Amino acid sequence: MPKRISRRRCLEGIKPYVPGKPVEELERELGITNAVKLASNENALGPSPLAVEALRKALSEVNYYPDANCYYLRQALAEKLNLDPEQFIFANGSDESLKLIAETYINPGEEGVIADPTFSEYEFVLRIMDGIPRKVPMRPDFSHDLEAMLAAVNERTRLVFLCSPNNPTGTIIKRRELERFLDRLPAGVLVVIDEAYYEYVSEPDYFDSLNYLQQYPVITLRTFSKIYGLAGLRLGYAVAAKEIIADINRVCEPFNVNHLAQKAALAALKDEAYLQKSRQMIAEGREQLAAGFSAQGLSFVPTQANFFFVDLGHDSQEVFQELLQRGVIIRTGDIFGYPSYARITIGTKAENERLLCELEAVLKELQS
């Protein structure tokens, strides 16, 4: 083995991301074919049929580099959202958008304020830039404590990450609360609003962050991984004032969004029937799972997203392992600091039924 080369010191605090177990992997391990993955908040309907058709056509064009400017997608989104095409930056999923933002704004020792629990990538992108995450506990009802987040902002703070609906809790920030927060935020701090699940929100008190982009230092993140059903292709985008986007463009690789992703996203964007069906499935699934969890005496956080944060009343790693043996994959809460909780994606009616049935059996087994 060659002599070990020391890694950057700021990497010491970083644990590699543990992704949800892929269905194929579990099926291979158990020798089964009907595993169900309710672990990564993907769209259980499969991809949009229009996206699949666009992909077929685009396959014969992959000998060329992709369009570095994402021209057609940029135009389509600018028109749909009534924004300037220069207000967008496209990335290899919102994960990359987050990394680009940290690379643009975080000098070593500078800080980002994040909620706890929330999506782990915020801490990750801060740490790889040798930045410092300032974690602010959520309120007892798992909503963002914006007062406390504001109090955590100091002269070293460059970024505040807000996730709404929040992963893993499914809770949202209400419009008035966000506006009060933005009004009082000191100058020089950029607010990242991650809206990976915003299309699922049914609460009327929700905000439209795009309305704030000219007035406040806000950057909105959206993705084609969730309701648009294209997680496997990796495409997210960030929207902000042109000047902010121009700064982030300095650290962006030229061909970070592949050709197939661009073509599929453009088609999915126009597939209203698919979007409607996806929303409907989640609305019905919320009721189905909420009723099922309640019937089993399990408490859960009311959700505005396509997943639930449920208290299993047991070590969720144990429940997870038992469910795996039965072909069902969920996400354990220990990674978010809540070892008795699990994050469970809402699937199709049949998948939800299977989850409820297997969960009941596993919990009974563990109790006896």
Binding site for ligand PLP (CB under 6 A): 41, 93-95, 119, 163, 167, 194, 196, 223, 225, 231, 236
Q: Shortest approach of ligand PLP to residue 283 CB, angstroms?
A: 19
Residue number of the CB closest to ligand PLP reads: 93
Q: Shortest approach of ligand PLP to residue 309 CB, angstroms?
A: 12
Nearer Cβ to ligand PLP (41/316): 41
Q: Shortest approach of ligand PLP to residue 94 CB, angstroms?
A: 4
Contact 68, 47 (CB under 8 A): no
Separation between Cα atoms, residue 232 and residue 40, nearest integer Å: 12
Q: Shortest approach of ligand PLP to residue 4 CB, angstroms?
A: 32
The alpha carbon torsion through 66, 69, 72, 73 (nearest 10 deg) reads 90
Nearer Cβ to ligand PLP (19/297): 19
Nearer Cβ to ligand PLP (117/236): 236
Sheet holding 307-311: strands in order across? 299-300, 307-311, 341-345, 331-332
CA distances to 110, 160, 188 from 154, in Å = 10, 11, 10
Contact 26, 329 (CB under 8 A): yes
Nearer Cβ to ligand PLP (104/225): 225
Nearer Cβ to ligand PLP (43/223): 223
Q: Shortest approach of ligand PLP to residue 19 CB, angstroms?
A: 9
Is 179 buried (19+), middle (13-18) or exposed (0-12) by CB count in 10 A?
A: middle
Nearer Cβ to ligand PLP (123/322): 123
Q: Shortest approach of ligand PLP to residue 78 CB, angstroms?
A: 20
| Exposure string over 123-152, b if 16+ CB within 10 A, otherwise e | bbbbbbbbbbbbbbebeeebbbbbeebbeb
